[in-house]
Amino acid sequence: MDYEGAVLDVDGTVVRGDDPVPGAAEGYRRIREAGIDPLFVSNNPTKAPPAYADRLAAAGFGVDPDRIVTAGTVTVAYLRERHPEADLFVIGESGLHTQLDAADLSTTGDADAADALVASIDREFDYGDLRDALWALERDIPFIGTDPDVVIPAAERNVPGSGAVINAIAGVAERDPDVTLGKPSEPAVELVRERLGVDPKRCLVVGDRLDTDIAFGDRAGMTTVLVRTGVTDEARLAASAYEPDYVLDSLSAIGRVLEAGPKKR
Dihedral of alpha carbons 144, 146, 151, 156, sign: negative
Catalytic residue (choose from 9, 132, 149, 245):
9
Say whether 66 is catalytic: no
Say whether 9 is catalytic: yes
Q: 100 CB contacts (<8 Å, ≥6 apart)?
A: 76, 79, 88, 90, 107, 118
CA distance linking residue 58 with residue 231, whole number of Å? 23
Catalytic residue (choose from 11, 129, 213, 245):
11
Residues acting as catalytic residues: 9, 11
